[in-house]
Structure 1
Amino acid sequence: MKRTLAAGLVILFAAGPSFADDASSKLSFFYDSCVSSGPDFERTAERAKADEWPSMAEDMALTFTPMENPEALEGWIVSGGEAESFQALVVSRADVGGKTVEGCTVALGDVDADVFEKALVEKVNAVSAGEEQGQDRVYKRYTATINGRSEAITLTLPLYAKGSDQIIASTVAEQQIEH
């Protein structure tokens, strides 16, 4: 995950409400959009078009993707009006070692980071694959097998969670080709 991400988060989340949203609804958004069927660039782009989500600038979307040099990248602001906390969704596709992988990332505002992480780990039976600490963020990596598909999940969490946090959750998996 790019270290410049923290600076972009401050700008994006500054307008969010001061109360914490229900972490389970945020987890459902991530799980339903990115995890349950794995990242799927085409499916997500079709959903964004059908739901008329406003597009995100490509340079902003790039700060959210866990992949370097994606071949395809799209992002949308899903919510974040005055009555809602910030939610964004970014999908990407890249060639990694001769294999096509797809990524799906959500950026969420006003969520209890601790509750979100614990619920995600429990829901997908995630196994810790390490963590890295930055100046004000911690990057936690997990692996999980969902519906027979291996996924790498990364959570970007505040170093000191306060219950109304800004987090980024990403999953990356090898592209599935429908036959």
Structure 2
Amino acid sequence: MAVLLAVTVPATANDALKTLEAFYDTCLAQGPSFDRTKAAANLFKWKPLPLEALTMLAPPQTPDRFEGWLVNSEGYPKNTLVAVTKGRLDGRPVLTCTMAVVGVNSNNVETLFLERLAPRKTGEQSSGMQEIRTYRLTTGVQEAEQLVVMTGVTPVNAEPVAIFSSMIDDPER
């Protein structure tokens, strides 16, 4: 687990901190990686998601390769899903990594994200039950700029869902 975010936090913020640390370790620290994430899923025996569940985490354009898992590893909040893709966006080869967590307030995670990583905000949309904010962040081993999308969904009579995605140009293609 990354030491990047090690601080003392109140119990109410613990889920938000754990979520951000898991997102940082899985999707941001080294940038999205289809192969590395799939290897972690195999090593830690994450449960593959059925195709229907993957559609919730699908990127805007059809990917070449797309896999996702229900994560049951230490260091991840309960009810965490992780998905990775290799594909093209507007003709450019890209990699994505998405993490969704049920029962976590996305605003709390986003506040920690802004405080700790200081990304550059590039956009915002709101549609009642869903808030989407986009950021640019330079981090990781390759120091590649990543597009980070933070989405909070608050369904009626259901737990909130926090969805965080990272996308970079695929350096191998």
Compute the TM-score of the two structures, normalised by the length of structure 2. Answer: 0.80
User: How do 1:131-170 residues align onto structure 2 when only pairs under 5 Å count?
Assistant: 131-147=124-140, 148-158=143-153, 165-170=160-165
Name the aligned partner's letter for residue 125 of structure 1: A
Q: Does 1:68 pair with 2:64?
A: no
> How far did residue 38 of structure 1 move?
0.4
> How far did residue 68 of structure 1 move?
1.4
For structure 2, the residue ranges without an aligned partner over 5 or more in a row are 1-11
- Deviations 1:8-43 (CA, angstroms, capped at 9, x unpaired): xxxxxxxxxxx8852111111111000110000000
Q: Residue in 1 aligned with 2:50?
A: 57
Secondary structure at the counterpart of residue 22 of structure 1: helix
Q: Does 1:120 pair with 2:113?
A: yes
Assess if the C-alpha contact under 8 Å between 2:105 and 2:152 holds in 1: no
User: How do 1:25-44 residues align onto structure 2 when only pairs under 5 Å count?
Assistant: 25-44=18-37
Distance in 1 (alpha carbons) for counterparts of 2:53 and 2:167: 19
Q: Does 1:173 pair with 2:168?
A: yes
Name the aligned partner's letter for residue 151 of structure 2: T
Secondary structure at the counterpart of residue 47 of structure 1: helix
Compute the TM-score of the two structures, normalised by the length of structure 1. Answer: 0.77
Give the RMSD, CA atoms, in angstroms. 2.4
Name the aligned partner's letter for residue 160 of structure 2: D
Q: Residue in 2 aligned with 1:24?
A: 17
Name the aligned partner's letter for residue 115 of structure 2: E
> How far did residue 159 of structure 1 move?
6.1
Using the aligned pairs only, state the percent identity.
24
Name the aligned partner's letter for residue 42 of structure 2: K
Assess if the C-alpha contact under 8 Å between 1:65 and 1:104 holds in 2: no
Secondary structure at the counterpart of residue 47 of structure 2: coil
Assess if the C-alpha contact under 8 Å between 2:129 and 2:153 holds in 1: yes
For structure 1, the residue ranges without an aligned partner over 5 or more in a row are 1-18
- Report the number of matched residues: 154
Distance in 2 (alpha carbons) for counterparts of 1:35 and 1:167: 16
Assess if the C-alpha contact under 8 Å between 1:23 and 1:116 holds in 2: yes
